[in-house]
Amino acid sequence: MIERLTSHGMVPGPSTGAGQNVAEAGTFGELLRQRMESVGTAQPAAPKVEFSKHAQMRAEERGIEMSADLIDRLSDSAQLAQEKGARNILVFDASRAFIVNVPQNRVVTAISQDEMQNNIFTNIDGAVLLK
């Protein structure tokens, strides 16, 4: 959906020229923010985590299903970790685990439940339990 931003209907006042209405309303950024709030998209969506080729291969090999819900949960976990200053985190639940590089917002490996049992996770500075 692409709409053209104009001053008609957005900025009250005399319509002696579009330039005058825009000047009375403020900056373009303010107009854009107002318009986005009116459509309900004022906050940009959080960036989604990406999977490295290695992580994609490991997930396929280990039978880990990559659903949209899981990607959203991994993205939320990475965002929370970034707010706390973490750089590399372990995101896990009872059946799988992921190592996420927070600054790059990238899953670097995926681990199944069988492999988690006798594994030691190194080079991480945080852990997040998937809800």
- Integer CA distances (angstroms), 109 to 37, 59, 103, 128, in order: 38, 8, 15, 15
Burial class (CB in 10 A: 0-12, 13-18, 19+), 52: middle
Instruction: Give me the residues paired with residue 90 across strands.
Output: 99, 127
Four-point Cα dihedral 3, 8, 11, 16, nearest 10: 140
For residues 9 and 52, give the distance between their C-alpha atoms in angstroms, rounded to a whole number: 47
Cβ atoms of residues 117 and 108 within 8 Å: no
For residues 119 and 9, give the distance between their C-alpha atoms in angstroms, rounded to a whole number: 62
The DSSP symbol for 16 reads S
Answer with the residue of higher pLDDT: 90 or 20.
90
Q: Mean pLDDT across the chain, nearest whole number?
A: 82
For the ranges 3-12, 36-45, 68-77, the maximum mean pLDDT occurs at: 68-77
Percent of the chain beyond pLDDT 90?
57
At residue 76, the pLDDT reads 95
Q: Flag whether pLDDT at 124 surpasses 80.
A: yes
- For the stretch 34-61, pLDDT in tens is 777 777 654 556 689 999 999 999 999 9
